[in-house]
Structure 1
């Protein structure tokens, strides 16, 4: 009897030890690295951290029997600061994966480090297609949207409506260049032309000289290849110059629910934009939106909900793999379908791009909004296979 008891205890101990070995360090640690104090603080920021925590709680707080921990940091939109944080997280703080990564220059830098360290990164906040193109990684994933999807949605819609000549106001870093290039290519392929562009520094407060150049160009559409507070400020100052009253249209190429709320319906009404999520689209998204609002005081955009989805899918992959070892989890992230509040029938390509539907939206007039945060009319659904670049044409070396 005593021998049987000892044998049983040994089996339990071995099982416990095996479980801990399968989840390295006895826990799973996810880092949310983004802008929490600058121009993209509303776009992602602390609300993305809350979305990640919601996902962990909804998953039960544990995976493989060990606790899941969320840590976060503000990269201040600086690639060097983000790189230092990422290295510390991976090398000394036992972080298993880094997510969100608003700002394309930051996302590219951190993805390179994650590739070097053989760690997973899932980008929900940055837009450049380079993440799944020439700078792709076997451990890197791009989740919520990208510049190609924005160009197909907003750019395509405006060209069809007669906006066949464009001038771009572009944020002077990787994201802005990518968004301008992708939209320009789509405008030209649709029969339009680009008459010029001007680049502005990140976090610009005075857009007057840039807007005057755009106004004098005579372009039918002024494409705002920027985001966050930069887009809000550009739209506000464009109104002061009477640009839209003069017949030119503004195309907010990366504009989400958060920025519409910050700008207000009076100023934003009539804008066409593309998002990967809208809280008031169906019953499931409404329920998620209201839960999110209870925690944050705001409704979620595609970055917030995309972060929730990314964390959930990562935990599902760990569970299915029976380990948090990077190669095993990355393999399953490429193979598993994505089906949650953010994406229905989503799939991940060999370059790490997650394919899911995008939505072409129009900002409502103030009188048409029936409740707080009811800001959009859904004009069209853009299937994921149309919104995103075919992996075979992405330039990613992983695609055979």
Structure 2
């Protein structure tokens, strides 16, 4: 009799546990940089963008409440990996979002692939994420190194800037950006005269700028981002590199970087972006809703991308009736994707969202009407021209279809 009671008790505990799990909130984990060099371009703003998407969706999906949680990966692969393991194993996280710093994103992609959890990349930029390292549960939403190279690098070379020298951040993103931009330069008749690598978070660029100056290259390409980019631009101005006749090409620049630099230093720079808050009525309406959640700051393309990818993920969950990453991402490939961020967009089998990109130029102080009025959109680059052709990325999923 006691054995029967023990069995019945065990079954009742398991039943209660299963019922509790079934009604647990569905959690979306925003893994970002809350304290370092990428905090302004992603960080708190990315967390708030994800929360906005959940609220706009209605706060529930498949009958369960949706919660957004967040953590700071500190731009370190081991910390980011540990956070995601805990999220998956203990906190019922069903999607990991954002992830600036491509080396962290590549590590997280392995974990989400193994767990069949959706990985929704907005800020991680290496084109290898949808190339040789592609995953059936990953999407790369906002930009990548190929699109940046094909926008800024190609445009400048076509305009006559034929010789280049690279200052490259020494991690996965910098390497991919230099590789992809070199290909675009050479395909347009340009030549790379050399390069130098610098550590992530470099404070003093003087030795690197000296090497760039001595190269006599027309263009000094900054294959880095955020704090590294702004520090290099400031020091290049102080160093006299610009007055000496050379020019700077910032291959990845966010509107937060321009705001931090000021128009006096950033004016005239060309950049490629996936979003500009003041482009049209749709972008302005959303951005004016977003700014109060972000200390009055207008969104970067990374933060706008977080909103868009989370909203479309939730639509995919609802349509597929599933929380498994591969099933939801498969559903997203069959969906119409059109919102304030994604224009003329579709999701490919390699996980790349193909959408229009924009070649922009930073305004002069006299052209700007005030803070955040920073860009002139020079050209719309159609998605099929901006992003790498599907067959050229080396994604094994393409060969299997």
Deviation at 1:24, TM superposition (A): 5.0
Tell me which residue corresponds to 1:198: 196
Contact 1:337 1:345 in 2 (8 A): no
**1:190-222 Cα deviation digits (max 9, x unpaired):** 000000000000000000000010011000000
Unaligned runs of 5+ in 2: 1-14
Deviation at 1:238, TM superposition (A): 0.2
Tell me which residue corresponds to 1:267: 265
**1:57-85 Cα deviation digits (max 9, x unpaired):** 11111112221100000000000100000
Secondary structure (helix, strand or coil) at the match of 2:372 reads: coil
Tell me which residue corresponds to 2:11: none
Secondary structure (helix, strand or coil) at the match of 1:67 reads: strand
**1:231-280 Cα deviation digits (max 9, x unpaired):** 00000000011111111110000001011001111110000001100000
Contact 2:23 2:64 in 1 (8 A): no
Tell me which residue corresponds to 1:320: 319
Tell me which residue corresponds to 1:379: 378
Report the TM-score when normalising by structure 1.
0.93
Contact 1:31 1:72 in 2 (8 A): yes
Tell me which residue corresponds to 1:3: none
Tell me which residue corresponds to 1:364: 363
Deviation at 1:25, TM superposition (A): 4.6
Matched, 1:131 2:129: yes
Secondary structure (helix, strand or coil) at the match of 2:314 reads: helix
Matched, 1:171 2:169: yes
Deviation at 1:26, TM superposition (A): 3.7
How many residues align? The count is 381
- 1-side partners of 2:114 and 2:23: how far apart? 20
Which of 240, 243, 246 is residue 242 of structure 1 equivalent to? 240
Report the TM-score when normalising by structure 2.
0.93
Deviation at 1:321, TM superposition (A): 1.2
Matched, 1:101 2:99: yes
Secondary structure (helix, strand or coil) at the match of 2:366 reads: helix
Matched, 1:83 2:81: yes
- 2-side partners of 1:54 and 1:200: how far apart? 37
**1:145-185 Cα deviation digits (max 9, x unpaired):** 00000001100111112111000000000000000000011
Unaligned runs of 5+ in 1: 1-16
Which of 232, 235, 258 is residue 256 of structure 2 equivalent to? 258
Contact 2:154 2:185 in 1 (8 A): yes
Contact 1:122 1:142 in 2 (8 A): yes
**1:1-24 Cα deviation digits (max 9, x unpaired):** xxxxxxxxxxxxxxxx9xx99x95
Secondary structure (helix, strand or coil) at the match of 2:397 reads: coil
Contact 2:139 2:329 in 1 (8 A): no
Secondary structure (helix, strand or coil) at the match of 1:367 reads: coil
Tell me which residue corresponds to 1:6: none
- 2-side partners of 1:24 and 1:109: how far apart? 29
- 2-side partners of 1:330 and 1:47: how far apart? 24
Tell me which residue corresponds to 2:144: 146
Tell me which residue corresponds to 1:110: 108
Contact 1:355 1:384 in 2 (8 A): yes
- 2-side partners of 1:28 and 1:384: how far apart? 32
- 2-side partners of 1:104 and 1:115: how far apart? 16
Once the two structures are superposed, the pairs formed by residues 297-316 of structure 1 within 5 Å of their partners are 297-316=296-315
Tell me which residue corresponds to 1:339: 338
Contact 1:151 1:183 in 2 (8 A): yes
Tell me which residue corresponds to 1:281: 279
- 2-side partners of 1:221 and 1:24: how far apart? 57
- 2-side partners of 1:125 and 1:344: how far apart? 18
The more displaced of 26-35 and 321-330 is 321-330
Tell me which residue corresponds to 2:54: 56
Contact 1:25 1:94 in 2 (8 A): no
Deviation at 1:333, TM superposition (A): 1.8
Contact 2:344 2:383 in 1 (8 A): no
Which of 217, 220, 226 is residue 218 of structure 2 equivalent to? 220
Secondary structure (helix, strand or coil) at the match of 1:32 reads: strand
1:122–1:33 Cα change, 3 Å: same
Contact 1:274 1:358 in 2 (8 A): yes
